[in-house]
Amino acid sequence: MEARDEETRALLRRLYDAAVKDALPASCLPPHLPKPPAPGEGRLVIFAIGKAAASMAAVAEDYYDREFPGTHIEGLALTRYGHAQPTRHVEVLEGGHPVPDAAGEAAAKRLLRMAEWMGPEDFALVLLSGGASSLTAQPIQGITLDDEIWLTRALLASGRPIGDINCVRKHISRIKGGRLVETIHPARSLTLAISDVAGDDPSTIASGPTVPDTTSKARVMAIIDALRPPVSETLRAAIDAAPETPKPGAEIFAHASYKLIASGTGSLGAAAAIARAEGYDPVALGDAIEGEARELAAEHAKRVFQARAEGRRVAIISGGEAGVTFGDGEKGGRGGPNQEYALALAIALDGMAGVTALAGDTDGIDGGSGEADDPAGAIITPDTLDRARAAGLDAAEMLERHDSGTFFAQLGDLVKTGPSYTNVNDFRVILVENTETDRSDQVDSPP
d(CA 213, CA 390): 53
Of 208, 234, 262, the residue at which a domain comes to its end is 262
**Residue 325 CA neighbour count, 13 Å, CB half:** 13
Predicted confidence at residue 328, as pLDDT, reads 64
pLDDT over 90 at 342, yes or no: yes
CATH code where residue 342 lies: 3.40.1480.10
Domain with 396, as residue range(s), is: 2-21+265-435
| CA-based nearest residue to 296, from 354, 243, 253, 343 | 343
Least confident of 2-11, 107-116, 332-341, 432-441: 432-441
Answer yes or no: do 145 and 227 share one domain. yes
Q: How many domains does the structure of the chain reveal?
A: 2
Confirm if 43 and 74 have CB atoms less than 8 A apart: yes
Of 209, 236, 262, the residue at which a domain comes to its end is 262
Of 209, 231, 262, the residue at which a domain comes to its end is 262
d(CA 309, CA 327): 37
Answer yes or no: do 227 and 337 share one domain. no
Answer yes or no: do 155 and 175 share one domain. yes
Predicted confidence at residue 441, as pLDDT, reads 43
| CA-based nearest residue to 337, from 285, 400, 286, 405 | 405
Predicted confidence at residue 324, as pLDDT, reads 86
Predicted confidence at residue 198, as pLDDT, reads 80
pLDDT over 50 at 139, yes or no: yes
Please give the span between the terminal C-alpha atoms of the chain, in angstroms, as a whole number.
24
Answer yes or no: do 291 and 229 share one domain. no
Answer yes or no: do 275 and 393 share one domain. yes
Confidence band of 90 (pLDDT split at 50, 70, 90) = very high
pLDDT over 90 at 434, yes or no: no
Q: 274-299: buried (b, 16+ CB within 10 Å) or exposed (e) per residue?
A: bbeeeebebbbbebbbbbbbbebbee
d(CA 296, CA 298): 5
Identify the helix (H) or strand (E) that includes residue 5.
Answer: helix 2-22
d(CA 84, CA 18): 22
d(CA 244, CA 208): 14
For 444, other C-beta atoms within 10 Å of its C-beta total: 6
For residue range 40-86, what is the model confidence (pLDDT) as tens digits? Answer: 899 999 999 999 999 999 999 999 999 999 999 999 999 999 899 99
Answer yes or no: do 76 and 214 share one domain. yes
In a domain, 442, yes or no: no
Answer yes or no: do 96 and 225 share one domain. yes
Q: 357-378: buried (b, 16+ CB within 10 Å) or exposed (e) per residue?
A: bbbbbbbbbbbeebeeebbbbb
Answer yes or no: do 75 and 213 share one domain. yes
* Total-model pTM: 0.85
For residue range 314-337, what is the model confidence (pLDDT) as tens digits? Answer: 999 999 989 888 776 666 788 999
Answer yes or no: do 279 and 239 share one domain. no
- The strand pair at 290-292 and 73-80 is best described as unpaired
In a domain, 122, yes or no: yes
d(CA 241, CA 234): 11
Answer yes or no: do 47 and 157 share one domain. yes
pLDDT over 50 at 1, yes or no: no
Predicted confidence at residue 369, as pLDDT, reads 58
Answer yes or no: do 274 and 412 share one domain. yes
Count how many residues are written for the chain. Answer: 447
Question: Which residue(s) pair with 123 in the sheet?
Answer: 44, 188
- The strand pair at 355-361 and 426-432 is best described as antiparallel
CATH code where residue 221 lies: 3.40.50.10180
CA distances from 290 to 120, 161, 295, 347, 412 (A): 41, 7, 10, 20, 28
In a domain, 444, yes or no: no
Quick one: 82 exposed, middle or buried, by C-beta within 10 A (0-12, 13-18, 19+)? Answer: middle
Predicted confidence at residue 157, as pLDDT, reads 85
For residue range 225-242, what is the model confidence (pLDDT) as tens digits? Answer: 999 999 999 999 999 999
Q: Which residues contact 336 (CB under 8 A, 6 or more apart)?
A: 324, 361, 365, 366, 367, 368, 374, 375, 377, 405
For residue range 402-418, what is the model confidence (pLDDT) as tens digits? Answer: 999 999 999 999 999 99
In a domain, 446, yes or no: no
Answer yes or no: do 254 and 326 share one domain. no
